[in-house]
Amino acid sequence: MAGEIYRAFHERSIRDREGFWAEQAGLIHWQKPFGKVLDFGRPPFAKWFVGGETNLCYNAVDRHLATRADQKALVYISTETGEEKAYTYRELAAEVNRMAAVMQSLGVARGDRVLIYMPMIAEAAFAILACARIGAIHSVVFGGFAAGSLATRIDDARPTLMVTSDAGMRAGKAVPYKHLVDESLRLARFPPGKVLMVNRGIDREMQLVPGRDLDYATLRSRHLDAQVPVAWLESNEPSYILYTSGTTGKPKGVQRDVGGYATALAASMKHIYMGNAGETMFTTSDIGWVVGHSYIIYGPLIAGMTTILYEGTPIRPDAGIWWKIVQDHRATVMFSAPTAIRVLKKQDPAFLKKYDVSSLRHLFLAGEPLDEPTHRWIAEALGIPVIDHYWQTETGWPMLSAVPGVEKTPIKYGSPSFPVFGYDLRLFREADASEAGADEKAVVGVVPPLPPGCLATLWGDDERFVKTYFSTFSTRQVYSSFDWGIRDQDGYFFILGRTDDVINVAGHRLGTREIEEAVQAHPNVAEVAVVGVADPLKGQLPVAFAVVKDVSAVASPEARAAHEKEVMATVDRLLGAIARPGRVHFVTALPKTRSGKLLRRSIQALAEGRDPGDLTTIEDPGALEQIKAALGAR
């Protein structure tokens, strides 16, 4: 069982929701106090801190100017370009005001959407905070996504402005953005009228489109002394949209509020991460993911910490780089992902001993299952508690975690511990939504209302929000995480994988449908099945089985290899290399049931060398033989 103190804390957060969250709301600044703590009059929609007015940028930046203007707020480190630059809270405020003034000069107003497609540079943080300041809704798209992904997200959010850059950098290579941006604007039905370019001088061939593409440095120089007033937003106004993949080809725009999010982050910084003002937090994610939003940008800044924005990989110039950063900046809180730790585990362990990391209090990991050997290895190597915690883009902050700021409960390797305060998280039997007992595998669900900080709805689609997340069980309205979980006799939870067809590659969620649609864009592909296959490093890898129209194109091993490359390039072009299948196998039929349903689970089982299960409903057993043959031909 969870420790007594934490159990009581969690129990109160559910029993006395309003009292508990009213207290937590005291951690942030409210320009106008809220009236009702929770309005749950229209379940499952929860409105937190109704009538209260606040602002994320004010809480993250302005609020600290009186006490810590000269403390570092943001340290930008790039091992790709060799740059390192620190911004104090005063300097960060100045940069955010300049960016906000530039955005306003381009016609961005409260409620407008701004699409941010940027590498890990300081200007990305300025743009995010500038949107928050003026009440514009940011939609950050991960820089590894390509033109097709961008276009889908443009059309759903219909931004007024896009903020981007000439290029990102990855492992010493430039990743030019501009041609992808141009292509996405051609593909989109509702492209923004203006594109703000932060030119890093990496892509020297970049061409600006007159009247549409604007150079940020030029505009910034016109607003050096800008003081842009903070837009005080009602707590439930949208702050941002962040797209995530599901089982359909259409990404879901997770919509976040303002006051609930700020409160949840402040509470998590205190109770979970134990990040104090004046200390440093190092989160190794990317601003394109939810972890980047919550724990590179907003969370640590709301807490008055110094946050590190790192562009680079964990192993360049060598596998000691992250520990050097911890040492140099005396980081007390570090947040990373299991895949990164597995990458480091394969390197020389001496790198871990080379630097003084004694400032670290905890290392937090999330995004994908953390296997026990990796958990044990890193915990023993660092000699500090390594906290596996579980959450989703939808929730914005952890759902399962140890909460050391309340009680230091023992860590079990491979377990993200207990339900976090505010979450009435339980395990539900798939058949009838009854509650599972100890050691029984069931669906991880949350009894609504969801706590502050979680998604308010899906952008522009309340119906899809209810249908997707709250309709798993016919008897009971419960938020479904689409993850399987189990709780042991001691009350510790373990996550056992997804209940749907979503793939998790190195902590990044990819929808099988989206990848299938991209593969199918290749002219010689008639049909395709994409499944997630276990991978020792990245957790899972997408693997495609494609039915080709013209079999002569894949008649020889050489032709197959060339064709496979072509299909992969198609995925790269449309979605980005992140979604590229590890392998593309060519077949003439896919295993389906007699009613035409793809036997995805059986394909996945075969690809992982497991028993394909019950095949009595299969239409054409030969199709399965082909899958086996294709896998065997590796």
Give the interface with ligand AMP as residue ranges (CB under 6 A).
Answer: 244, 290, 366-370, 388-393, 416, 481, 483, 495, 498, 504, 508-509
Element at 170 (helix H, strand E) = strand 167-170
Contact 167, 143 (CB under 8 A): no
Closer Cβ to ligand AMP, 537 or 569, answer by number: 537
Shortest distance, CB of residue 48 to ligand AMP, whole angstroms? Answer: 21
Residue 135 or 246: the one with the smaller Cβ distance to ligand AMP is 246
Three-state DSSP class for residue 10 = helix
3-state secondary structure 361-425: CEEEECCCCCCHHHHHHHHHHHCCCEEECECCCCCCCCCEECCCCCCCCCCCCCCCCEECCCCCE
Say how many C-beta atoms besides its own lie within 10 A of residue 174's C-beta. 16
**In the complex, least distance from residue 514 CB atom to ligand AMP, rounded to whole angstroms:** 13
| Contact yes or no for 535/582 (Cβ under 8 A) | yes
**CA atoms of 185 and 109, how far apart (whole Å):** 21
Residue closer to ligand AMP, measured from CB, 386 or 548: 386
Comparing CB distances to ligand AMP, the nearer of 290 and 515 is 290
Residue 180 or 495: the one with the smaller Cβ distance to ligand AMP is 495
Please enumerate in sequence order all residues whose Cβ is within 8 A of that of 604, keeping only pairs 6 or more positions apart, or say none: 531, 532, 533
What are φ and ψ of residue 69, in 5° steps?
-60, -35
For residue 401, the minimal CB distance to ligand AMP (Å) is 9
Q: To the nearest whole angstrom, how small is the minimum distance from the Cβ of residue 416 to ligand AMP?
A: 5
Q: Residue 380 contacts by C-beta under 8 Å, 6 or more apart in sequence?
A: none
Of 39, 78, 35, 32, give the one whose Cα is nearest residue 55.
Answer: 32
Closest CA to 86 of 66, 102, 97, 70: 70
From the CB of 499, what's the least distance to ligand AMP, in Å? Answer: 9
Cβ proximity to ligand AMP: between 223 and 252 the closer is 252
Tokens (6 digits) for 143: 């820089």
Quickly count: other Cβ atoms within 10 Å of residue 31's Cβ.
12
- Please list, in sequence order, all residues whose beta carbon lies within 8 angstroms of the beta carbon of residue 123, skipping any fewer than 6 positions away: 99, 163, 165, 198, 216
Ordered DSSP codes for 202-262: S-TT----TTTEEEHHHHHHT-TT--PPPPPEETTS--EEEEE--SSSS-EEEEE-SHHHH
CB of 367 to ligand AMP, least distance (A): 5
Name the residue nearer to ligand AMP (CB basis): 495 or 529.
495
Q: Checking DSSP bridges between strand 167-170 and strand 173-176, what pairing results, if any?
A: antiparallel
Closest of 268, 320, 261, 17 to residue 138, by C-alpha: 261
Of 53 and 286, CB closest to ligand AMP: 286
Q: How far is the CB of 614 from ligand AMP (least distance, A)?
A: 25
Would you put residue 140 in left (φ > 0), alpha (ψ -120 to 50) or beta?
beta
Beta bridge partners of 418: 401
Tokens matching residue 98: 């300049």
Q: How far is the CB of 199 from ligand AMP (least distance, A)?
A: 31
Supply the minimum distance, in Å, between the C-beta of residue 5 and ligand AMP. 23
Q: Measured from the CB atom, is 299 or 612 closer to ligand AMP?
A: 299
Q: Residue 416 or residue 451: which is nearer to ligand AMP going by CB?
A: 416
Q: Which is nearer to ligand AMP, 259 or 416 (CB)?
A: 416
Shortest distance, position 405 Cβ to ligand AMP, whole Å: 19
Q: Which is nearer to ligand AMP, 126 or 240 (CB)?
A: 240
Closest distance to ligand AMP from the beta carbon of 110 (Å): 28
**Residue closer to ligand AMP (CB basis): 212 or 498:** 498
Residue 508 Cβ vs ligand AMP, minimum distance, rounded to whole Å: 6
Q: How far is the CB of 399 from ligand AMP (least distance, A)?
A: 9
- The smaller minimum CB distance to ligand AMP, of residues 2 and 370, is found at 370
8 Å CB contact between 440 and 484: no
Q: Beta-carbon neighbour count of residue 349 at 10 Å?
A: 11
Name, in order, each residue with C-beta under 8 angstroms of 48's C-beta and a sequence gap of 6 or more: 21, 37, 38, 235, 236, 257, 259, 260, 263, 452
Q: How many residues does the chain have?
A: 634
Strand partners for 387: 364
Cα(616)–Cα(344) distance, integer angstroms: 45
Query: Please, what is the minimum distance in Å from the beta carbon of residue 477 to ligand AMP?
Result: 19
Q: Alpha carbon of 64 to those of 118, 301, 484: distances in Å?
A: 26, 9, 42
Q: How far is the CB of 201 from ligand AMP (least distance, A)?
A: 32
Nearer to ligand AMP, 270 or 498 (CB): 498
178 to 162, 164, 174, 507: CA distances (angstroms): 12, 8, 12, 27
> What sign has the CA pseudo-torsion 277, 280, 285, 287?
positive
